[in-house]
Amino acid sequence: YLPTIEKSARSGRLRFVTLTTRNAPMGGLATAWDEIWNAWTKLRKSDCWTASGALAAFEVTYSDYDGGSWNAHLHVLCVVPRGVDFSYRRIQAKWEEITGAPIVDFEQVRSSSPDGLVSGLHEVLKYVSKFDDLAAMPDEAFSEWFEFMHGRRALRSYGQWYRLQDLDLDEEEPV
Q: What pLDDT score does 57 carry?
A: 93
- The SS3 of residue 164 is helix
- Quick: pLDDT tens for 9-53: 777 788 899 999 999 999 999 999 999 999 999 999 999 999 999
pTM of the model: 0.85
- Quick: pLDDT tens for 48-97: 999 999 999 999 989 987 789 999 999 999 999 988 999 999 999 999 99
142: burial class by Cβ within 10 Å (0-12, 13-18, 19+)?
A: middle
Amino acid type, 27: G
- The SS3 of residue 173 is coil
Amino acid type, 5: I
Per-residue confidence band for 115, with pLDDT thresholds at 50, 70 and 90: confident
- Residue (of 119, 87, 86, 114) closest to 10 by Cα position: 114
Query: Within the chain, where are the H helices?
Result: 2-11, 29-45, 88-99, 114-125, 139-149
CA separation for the pair 109, 74 (Å, rounded)? 17
CA separation for the pair 28, 25 (Å, rounded)? 5
How does DSSP classify residue 136?
G
Q: What pLDDT score does 124 carry?
A: 76
